[in-house]
């Protein structure tokens, strides 16, 4: 069924926004709106319920799509790089889930992790919401 007939490009019932711990709750909510909710709406991607988490254990929970934004915590440590490698492994082990980077720092770190691992990017890992949109359109045609 084409997106025009459904009224949306894709729908993910269970979404998670995994964010860093530097921001206060108001800043996290603002980031969620500007980096996840608005871009998804613009891309005609529907999110059912969504939740936020700052804990890496979120990968062990149930979700259909995970939006990763750890840019603020990248300065002075290697946590983001570690989490990017962990997400890549998780994506390979869970091909029915999607993983989207939502900040430029996070996208760059994920791109570096992909190069470091020497493999092609798993189909379910996207460096932006726009990249996910493009992939969904390609798969629909």
Tens-digit pLDDT profile for the chain (141 aa)?
455 557 889 999 999 999 887 667 888 899 999 999 999 999 999 999 999 998 889 999 999 999 999 865 555 567 788 899 999 999 999 999 999 999 888 999 899 999 988 868 899 999 999 999 999 999 987
Phi, psi of 50 (to 5 degrees): -140, 155
Please report how the helices 104-117 and 79-93 are oriented relative to each other, as an axis angle in degrees rounded to 10. Answer: 60
pLDDT of residue 24: 76
CA dihedral (118, 80, 103, 127) in degrees, to 10, reads: 20
Task: Provide the b/e sequence for 30-59 (b: ≥16 CB within 10 Å).
Answer: ebbeebbbebbeebbbbbeebebeeeeebb
pLDDT of residue 1: 43
Give the end-to-end CA distance of the chain in Å, rounded to a whole number. Answer: 10
Class of domain 11-71+87-140 as given by CATH: alpha beta
Residues 141 and 66: their CA atoms lie apart, in Å, by 24
3 state DSSP class of 69: strand
Number of residues assigned to the chain: 141
- Give yes or no for a contact between 2 and 139, defined as CB atoms under 8 angstroms apart: no
pLDDT of residue 134: 96
pLDDT of residue 81: 83
Longest Cα–Cα distance in the chain: 48
pLDDT of residue 79: 77
């Amino acid at each position: 069924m084409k997106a025009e007939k459904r009224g949306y490009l894709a729908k993910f019932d269970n979404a998670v926004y995994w964010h860093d711990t530097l921001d206060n709750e108001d800043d996290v909510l603002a980031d969620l709106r500007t980096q996840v909710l608005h871009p998804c709406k613009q891309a005609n991607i529907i999110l059912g319920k969504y939740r936020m988490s700052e804990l890496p254990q979120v990968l062990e929970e149930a979700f259909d799509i995970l939006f990763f934004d750890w840019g603020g915590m990248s300065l002075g440590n290697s946590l983001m790089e570690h989490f990017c490698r962990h997400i890549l492994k998780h994506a390979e082990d869970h091909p029915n889930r999607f993983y989207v980077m939502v900040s430029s720092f996070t996208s760059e770190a994920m791109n570096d992790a992909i190069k470091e691992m020497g493999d092609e990017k798993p189909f379910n890992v996207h460096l932006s919401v726009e990249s996910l949109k493009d992939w969904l359109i390609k798969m629909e045609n």
